[in-house]
Amino acid sequence: MSQIYILCVEDEPEVLDVVVRDLSELEEVFPIEMAVNAEEAWDIIKEIKQRGDKIGLAVCDHVMPGQKGVELMIEMQKDPFTQRTRKLLLTGQAGLDATIEAVNKAKLNRYISKPWDPVELLRIARDELTTFVIEQEKDMLPYMAVLDIERIQEAIRTKGTISDY
């Protein structure tokens, strides 16, 4: 079975620490990878691809030295490997223009502004991963432990019905 990863990209270590900490509940099922800039994020993405694993969710800051969060997400949207990855912008610093670009060109799924509510962040991450698993995985059972069980069950029922034809 291939692993589904969560990728966190944030240039400030003390912020990255708390983001990862807030998502750590999901970590047993969805391993977390951390990058302090877009370049490192790409190294990690390539590595995960080589192993035959997937990236289910990318949580990115916007303002970083080098490639910006929104640019990184646009690149990810162009790459077939990361096109399906759910994309969450976690930032206090993306202007309206950058955000519009992210929605239009990167198919941004969520926007959370800093400072964030940890319960909300976790809920949203779980929701997005649930969507990813429903869309991408035939066998959803291994992920159920940390996901939205109701939605997974509903999906299993629907998919089951479809496959009955």
Partner 1 sequence: MTSNPIDDKRIEYARNIVQANNKNAYDKSLVINRIKELLPTSSLLGKLKKTFTEGEIVIKEHQQNDKLYIILDGYISQVKSGAGMNTPIDMLGPGDFVGLLSFQTGEPAFTTTKATKTVETLCLDHQNFELFLTRYPEISKIIQGLIFSNLSERYRRVVTLHVEVALLSKQLEQERNQLQKAIAELEKTRNMLISQEKMATLGELTAGLAHEINNPASALLRSVEYLIQSLPNMAERASALPDTGLVRFFFEAGFKREIDASGTIRARQKVLSETYPWISRGNIRLLSEMNEAVFAKIKPFMDNKKNQELMILLIEAYQSGVFLGGIKLSTSRIEYLVKSLKSYSRQSGAEPEVADIREGLKETLMILGNRLNDIVVTEELPEIPLVRCYVGELNQVWTNIIINACDAMDDKGELIVTCGKSDDDYVWISIADNGPGVPDMIKNRIFDPSFTTKTAGGEFGLGIGLAITKGIVEKHSGTIKVKDRPKGGAEFFIKLPIWKPAK
Q: Residues in the site for partner 1, rule: CB under 8 A?
A: 12-15, 17-18, 20-22, 24, 27-28, 31-36, 40, 43-44, 47, 63, 65, 92-93, 113-116, 118
Q: How far is the CB of 97 from partner 1 (least distance, A)?
A: 10
CA distance 162 to 10: 41
State both tokens at 126. Answer: 């779980």
Terminal Cα-to-Cα distance of the chain (whole angstroms): 27
The DSSP call for residue 142 is G
CA distance 102 to 93: 13
Closer to partner 1 at the Cβ: 83 or 92?
A: 92
Q: How far is the CB of 120 from partner 1 (least distance, A)?
A: 12
Closer to partner 1 at the Cβ: 20 or 144?
A: 20
Closer to partner 1 at the Cβ: 95 or 157?
A: 95
Cis amide prior to 115 (ω within 30 degrees):
yes
Closer to partner 1 at the Cβ: 124 or 155?
A: 124
